[in-house]
């Protein structure tokens, strides 16, 4: 479980976190919100002692940042350990917690910039919420067709493009096929073509989600 320590520093509050920043980190949000309210311009985070961080942990940071933007303040990550750095890079959120992300109160474009940042935060949050389903669908393809992680990702993307289906919708359909749902015929065809194009080594019929089809696509049983 993550714990925190706080130290006033001029018009800002310095917060140091220890432990694991995951779903359980949400219990820290009330304290973090109070600390933010007590600050004049925002919060500086020191996360170099955080040994584990996942997308739920990043969501905690994004929630704090959204609250800060509402108050005209900022949240800046001053330093972070390898676990946090990796998730920030994977989610593309690093730049949202830098000095460069501070709104300039004297700039007439500040309101528009803040609206854009809020939209970006919302998009990132939605992306992280759908990521587990996408990863699960990729794992299903890897197990069903003996694909590498890269090849399974390519199959997902190509099938999504060729069927004009959003990637997370396609992933949800594939996961549903494991539990007996039937994939749409167009998805079956394009999935089979994408798997063939990825150079699959083949998989046993029993391993195919939703049953085996003549063309090798899952979900046709």
Burial class of 211 by CB neighbour count within 10 A (0 to 12, 13 to 18, 19+): middle
Burial class of 7 by CB neighbour count within 10 A (0 to 12, 13 to 18, 19+): exposed
In the prediction, which pLDDT does 203 show?
A: 39
Across residues 64-93, what is the average pLDDT? 91
Lowest mean pLDDT among 23-32, 141-150, 188-197, 212-221: 212-221
String of DSSP letters for 6-69: EEEETTEEEEEEEEEESGGGGGGHHHHHHHHHH-SSEEEEEEEEEEEE-HHHHHHHHHHHHHHH
Q: Sorting pLDDT into bands at 50, 70 and 90, what band is 205?
A: very low
In the prediction, which pLDDT does 13 show?
A: 95
In the prediction, which pLDDT does 131 show?
A: 60
Burial class of 10 by CB neighbour count within 10 A (0 to 12, 13 to 18, 19+): exposed
Separation between Cα atoms, residue 171 and residue 180, nearest integer Å: 15
In the prediction, which pLDDT does 158 show?
A: 85
């Amino acid at each position: 479980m993550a714990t925190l320590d706080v130290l006033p520093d001029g018009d800002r509050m310095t917060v140091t976190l220890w432990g694991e920043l995951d779903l359980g980190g949400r219990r820290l949000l009330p304290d973090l919100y109070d600390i933010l309210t007590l600050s004049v311009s925002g919060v500086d985070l020191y996360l170099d002692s955080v040994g584990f961080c996942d997308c739920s942990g990043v969501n905690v940071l994004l929630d704090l940042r959204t609250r800060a933007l509402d108050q005209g303040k900022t949240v800046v990550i001053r330093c972070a350990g390898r676990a946090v750095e990796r998730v920030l890079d994977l989610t593309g959120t690093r730049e949202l917690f830098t000095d460069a992300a501070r709104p300039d109160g004297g700039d007439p474009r500040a309101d528009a910039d803040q609206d854009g940042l809020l939209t970006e935060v919302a998009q990132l949050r939605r992306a992280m919420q759908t990521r587990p389903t996408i990863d699960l669908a990729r794992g299903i393809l890897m197990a069903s067709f003996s694909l590498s992680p890269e090849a399974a990702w390519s199959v997902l993307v190509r099938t999504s493009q060729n069927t004009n289906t959003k990637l997370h919708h396609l992933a949800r359909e594939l996961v549903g096929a494991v539990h007996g749902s039937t994939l749409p015929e167009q998805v079956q065809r394009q999935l089979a073509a994408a798997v063939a194009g990825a150079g699959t080594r083949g998989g046993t019929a029993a391993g195919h989600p939703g049953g085996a089809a003549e063309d090798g696509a899952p979900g046709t049983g």
